[in-house]
Amino acid sequence: MRAKIPSTSHSEPAWWTTGLWLVGALIAQILLAAFVNFRDARPSAFLVVTVWYAVRVDPWRAALFGFIGGLLEDGLAGVTGGAFAVSTAIAGALAAIGSRGFFADSIPIVTLIAFLASFARLIVFWVIMAIQGYPAGMGRIHLHEAVWQALLNAGFAALVILVARRYSPTNEP
């Protein structure tokens, strides 16, 4: 008998809302990522949107969504060989598992999950890149970048939750 993961107290977003967030992440990644650079780290709009979605759905849907967003990011990068697709799928599934029992619009919880999902994603990403032949020996540089990217992603996730709250259909003007 399989153990069932407890559901959260919210409904999952509509498919068109999710699609709009993914398109927004694509546009943000293309237009803004080059300009938002702090200590050689850039936030990942795809990861933040994946976390936003993952805290609202089950791990399988979160992994699928992360895989789709990761494929888009692989397409933008061009040389990663699917590493973003796999790593974002795993990060999405882990974010969904880690968010069970919490409110999806809790800024501290989503910020913490985004921070931890960033690390999980980057670990898997660099392991896959190493398997593909990426030169080793730059661990300290990648760790430095991972810390700053996790902080940027956590801050960006808090901003996404605030925007999502503002435009939620349950908010009355």
CATH of 15-166, picked from 1.10.8, 1.10.1760, 1.10.357, 1.10.10, is: 1.10.1760
Q: Which pTM value belongs to this model?
A: 0.80
> Rounded to an integer, what is the distance from CA 86 to the centroid of its chain?
12
Q: What is the pLDDT of residue 11?
A: 67
Tell me the domain boundaries of the chain.
15-166
> Rounded to an integer, what is the distance from CA 64 to the centroid of its chain?
12
How far apart CA 2 and CA 38 sit, in angstroms, is 44
Q: Quick one: three-class SS letters along 85-121?
A: HHHHHHHHHHHHHHCCCCCCCCHHHHHHHHHHHHHHH
- Average pLDDT, rounded, for the chain: 82
pLDDT, tens digit (0-9, with 9 covering 90-100), for 20-48: 988 888 888 888 777 877 777 788 888 88
Q: Residue 10: which pLDDT band, with cuts at 50, 70 and 90?
A: low
